[in-house]
Structure 1
Amino acid sequence: MYHNIASVPDGINVYRSLYVSPTKFSRQMAMLRALGYRGLSMSEAMPYLRGERTGRVAVLTLDDGYVDNLESALDTLRRYGFTATCYAVSGYIGRYNAWDEHKLGVRKALMSVDQLRAWHAGGMEVGAHSRTHVRLSQCTDQQQRDEIHGSKAELEDRLGVGVTQFCYPYGDYDERAVDATRDAGYAAATTTDRGRASTGASTDLWRLPRIQVARHHLLPQVAAKVLTGYEDRRA
């Protein structure tokens, strides 16, 4: 789980962990490749998650749809033959992080329609991250439907591609949100719950855990998170 692939802007004192520099990101992808892993988008990973295929794979996701993902991650991913899923907030396409700007004190640019299309044209996937980046457990049933179903519809309409993956904003979800995600036709959904995803028939594809990679994580720490039960023990 990544967010910004960029250096930390001046003046940010909170959520600095959401930034991974382009150099660190490149080294992390090189490490995965050297260890024999394939970096995959959510859709390409589905056969592995369902237990239909086996292999050494790492599923790569980036939340929110920041412009720096296109500018600083795409070329690196393509260099190693990897794919990734970027979850976009459909109501803020081409705008900025209105949901946490007041906490950060900085506006972070989000990809426009053309930039999301460029991301997709580069072999990557666009997933949905709700319409307005709300806490879904605090929404009414109708609001949840609007956020979850509406995000899929808006992205598909504006991008002209199918959107089959969802990510719960803030990692916040309840049973209603999970049901709404299934009903909307998403193939899977990711959380911010810690741990590595299991595979096979018992896997809950709409409550998938992830491994956060943060600014302060050194390369050996990233390796430990991916290769060992480090994150699983903290689930």
Structure 2
Amino acid sequence: MTQTATPRTAAIPILMYHNIASAPRDLKVYRSLYVSPGAFARQMWLLRRWGYTGLSVTAAEPYLRGEKSGRIAVITLDDGYADNVQSAMPVLQKYGFSATCYVVSGQIGRYNSWDDQRLGIQKRLMTTKQLREWQGGGMEVGAHTRSHPRLTQCDEAQLRSEIQGCKDELEDSLGNEVTQFCYPYGDENERVVAATREAGFSAATTTHRGRAVAGDDLWRLPRMQIARHHLLPQFAMKVFSGYEDRRR
């Protein structure tokens, strides 16, 4: 008797970016957090060339739940830097893509207070006006806590303030529901994940490596960092092959 082969579940790459800008010459650490506008444009072109559609996390949820299938890549940007709206959004719009930008609500319109001393530079974050421009351009705003702490080190009151407080502040500022969350530093445990779910977020991303597949825990989604030093062939290997999956 002939057996019917079980179809292979399609892997879904969730890309993690930070700054879409050239790295400052005097920056000595964490230069990998920068991807130049030209490199980002080439990466988005390659996704489209290979038949992929770039989606925000909310737009990708039906694929992550197994309700839809297709060639998609989820595009996320952490922290809410002003260069995201200036340099990333026009490229995303060119290819009909959407993306999710995770915002630190207590620093809107300010700078990266959580790591500016370590980096030696202050990086400008989007204002409320720019966040509305981001949304108006077809993109999504997600939550990244109020102050970018390590959540596993927070007590219960701090945890609620950082997670639920961020959601409330963003929704008050933007006038719409915010359903996506990202753990700063990828720092999470069962207690943190439970608080995220209780706050009403429908999904959350980590820094665990690998591509997602339908049926994964939506509050512990893996991602792959795209860094300054990744040339286009390396980007293709990470996104289109099982290279990252072996590191899950």
Which residue number corresponds to residue 169 of structure 2?
154
Which residue number corresponds to residue 118 of structure 2?
103
Q: Distance in 1 between matches of 2:26 and 2:159?
A: 34
- Preserved CA contact (<8 Å) 1:90 1:132: yes
Percentage of identical aligned residues: 67
Q: Secondary structure at 1:74's aligned position in 2?
A: helix
> What number of residue pairs does the alignment pair up?
233
Is 1:124 matched with 2:139?
Answer: yes
Q: Secondary structure at 2:205's aligned position in 1?
A: strand
Is 1:208 matched with 2:221?
Answer: yes
Which residue number corresponds to residue 6 of structure 2?
none
1:9-60 deviation digits (Å, cap 9, x = unpaired): 1210100000000000000000000000000000000000000000000000
- Preserved CA contact (<8 Å) 1:40 1:60: yes
Q: 1:217 aligns with which of 215, 223, 230?
A: 230
Q: Distance in 2 between matches of 1:18 and 1:212?
A: 9
Q: Distance in 2 between matches of 1:20 and 1:64?
A: 14
Residue identity in the other structure for 2:117: H
Q: Distance in 2 between matches of 1:175 and 1:196?
A: 21
Structure 1 unpaired stretches of 5+: none
Q: Which has the higher contact order (CA 8 A, sep 6+)?
A: 2
Which residue number corresponds to residue 33 of structure 2?
18
Is 1:34 matched with 2:49?
Answer: yes
Q: CA deviation at 1:234?
A: 1.3
Q: Distance in 2 between matches of 1:182 and 1:190?
A: 12
Rg larger for = 2
- Preserved CA contact (<8 Å) 1:90 1:129: yes
Which residue number corresponds to residue 226 of structure 1?
239
1:83-131 deviation digits (Å, cap 9, x = unpaired): 0000000000000000000010000000000000000000000000000
Is 1:62 matched with 2:77?
Answer: yes
- Preserved CA contact (<8 Å) 1:152 1:163: yes
Q: Distance in 2 between matches of 1:139 and 1:82?
A: 36
Q: Distance in 2 between matches of 1:211 and 1:174?
A: 19
Give the alignment's Cα RMSD to 1 decimal: 0.5
Normalised TM-score (structure 1): 0.98
Is 1:136 matched with 2:151?
Answer: yes
1:183-215 deviation digits (Å, cap 9, x = unpaired): 000000000110101113xx1000000011000
Matches within 5 A, 1:170-185: 170-185=185-200
Q: CA deviation at 1:136?
A: 0.2
Where do 4+ consecutive residues of structure 1 move more than 4 Å? none
Q: Distance in 1 between matches of 2:201 and 2:80?
A: 18
Q: Distance in 2 between matches of 1:93 and 1:65?
A: 8
1:151-200 deviation digits (Å, cap 9, x = unpaired): 00000001111100000001111111100000000000000110101113
Q: CA deviation at 1:76?
A: 0.2
Q: Secondary structure at 1:192's aligned position in 2?
A: coil
Is 1:193 matched with 2:215?
Answer: no
Structure 2 unpaired stretches of 5+: 1-15
